[in-house]
Structure 1
C-alpha cells in the first residue's frame, strides 16, 4: 500500500449501537499513514447523527450517500429497483474517489464489495457482524466472496455462513474502551439494580425478560434503555411494563446518548435475546465496569459469559429459567461475579487486544497480542 492509504468504510446506519461503536474502534485502530473516510446511507432518518459526531472527533471524514443497504424493506420489486439505482451511484462514487481500501462494516453493506471489485479497488474487506439466516446465505454468498479478506466477530457468526466463506474468515472478537472511571460494585448498597440496554427488536427478548420479571418478583429494580428500531418488528416495551403486577419495579428510560452511567449504577446487566446474539457488545461493556451479565445461552454470548463465574446463562426464551436466576441472586454472589467480570475484560476484551488482532487481520500485520 502507498504511504497514504485512503480507507473508505461503508456503514449501514448513523446511530451508536453495537456495530456503530465497533466502527469507532476500527477507525481508532487504523495506522497513522491511513486517511479514513466513512460513507453513511441516506435511506433512514437519524436527525441527531450521533455516529457522525463521534467519527469527526476521531478525525474521520464523513459523507452521506445513497448507498445500497440490504434491508428487509427492500425485499420487493420496487425495493430491488431502488437498490439497483443506488448500486449504480455507489459504483460511480467509487470510480471517482478511487480509494485504496473499501471496508464493508456489516453484511448489510456487502453489495459494495462486488461494486468495489469492478471499480478496481485494490483491497476489499468484509466484516461479518451478524448470524446469517438461510435467506442471508443465499443472498450474501456472492457479495461476500467478492471480498479479498473477511473478518467475523465470533465463532457463532462463522458457523452460520457457507463453508467456503467460513474457511476464508478470521475471527476478531470485539473490544471496548476502558471506562473513564470505575465505580466498584462493592460500593453499591440496598436492592439490586438491573439494566437492559438494546433496541426493542422483537427478537431481543424484552417480552421474555418482563414475563420472567413478573414471575420472579426479584428484590430489585429494572431499568430499560433503548427504543423502537428504525425498521423491522419491534415490541411495545412501555405497554408490557404497564401490564405487570408491579409496574413501579421497572423504569423505562428509552433512548440515551450514553448508557455508561446506567451501567455504572447497575449491579447486573441483562441480555435476554430470544435468538442468538452474534456477539453481545453490551456484555463486555458491562465487564469493563465490573458488572456481571445474565444472558441467554445462544450465539456469541456463550463465548463471552462463563456461567456461574462472570455471569449466568439460561436457555433462550425460557421464562422459567430466567425467573429462577433473577429470583435467587444475592448481593454477595453478584459482587463476586462482578470482580470476575472485570478480570475477563482485562484479559480478553480490551481495546489494545482488539486493535492488534484487527490490524493483523486487516493489513496482514503480525499480532503480538
Structure 2
C-alpha cells in the first residue's frame, strides 16, 4: 500500500512538472510573448520593457528581441517609455499579431503635449544602422506622414560630446593601464618589468566604437557590479569614463556574469585588443548617407540619417538653407552617377578628407549602394 501511494505521488509530480513546462513553451511559441520577461521600474507606468532617457536606453535587448519576432512572424508585444525634456513619460505600446503591427502612442501623461492617445496600423518594422545611430522604424503605416514612425532611435556619436576619453586599468592588481586622457599606456611584461608608452592614443574610429559599446551597455545608469571573486588569478577591471564635464567609474571582476558585468568586460577586452594592435596612422575615411541630388559625376548626400529623416529633408531642403539642419551634407566627386538614383543609401571610401562643410566636398575612391529592408 505504501509503495502504491509513493508511485501515485511520483506520477502526480511528473504530470505537474510536464504541465508547467508545457505552459512555458506554449507562451513562447504562440500568442503574445510575455513569459518571464524582465520589467523595468518606471514611476507611474507598469510593465515597461524599454526605457529611453536622455542619452541612455535600458532594455535595448527587448527591442531587438521584438524586432526579431516580427521578422520571424512570432506574435509579441512591447512597451517603451520615452521621457520628454520636461520629464513626462510618453508610452509606446507595440503589438504584433503575426501579420501586422499596431503602434499606440500615449501622450496623456505629458502636460505640455496634446494629451492624445494615437493608434496606427503598420505593416512591418525596419532596423536601420548608421555609424553613429541605430533606428527601429515602423513602416507601411496608415494615417501618418510618409507611412513611417520611428519607434526607437539610439544615438552614439562621440563627436557630439565636448569630451570623451577613458582610463582602463586591468590585471590581478590593476597593474596595467590604457589612458586616452593622459595619452599613456602601461603594460606589465613580466613580474619585474613594465612597458610604458608615452604619446599613446587610439584612432577616432576606435574611440567611436568604444563609445558605441558603452551606450549599448547603458553606461550612464547605476550598476551593481561584482568586484570580488573567490577565484585566484582572476582579471580585475576599473574603467573611468570622462564624458563632457562628468565622470563614470566602474570597478568589477571577470567573474561577474551579470548582464552589466558581461557587457563591460566586452568593452574592456575590446579596448585592450585594439591597444595591442598597430593602428593605421591615416585610416581610410568612409561616409554614408542618402542621395539628394546628382550631376554627371557628383552626388550630394546627407549623412548619418535614417529613411524617415531622408523623406523629411527631401521635402524641406528646397525651402531652406543647409545650415538650418544639424546633419552633414557632402558632395561626392568622381562618381559614375548612372549607377545610382535619388534616394539610394550609399557608402563611400574617400581619397583624402572632406573639404569644407554645408556642403563639404570629397573625392571618391570606392562607392557602393546599401540595401535597407525589413530583414536588415
Q: Shorter-chain TM-score category? A: under 0.3
RCO (CA 8 Å, sep 6+): is it higher in 1 or 2? 1
Q: Return the structure number with greater helix share.
A: 1
With the length of structure 2 as denominator, give the TM-score of the two structures: 0.24
Q: Return the structure number with greater strand share.
A: 2
Determine which structure has more spread, i.e. the larger CA radius of gyration: 2
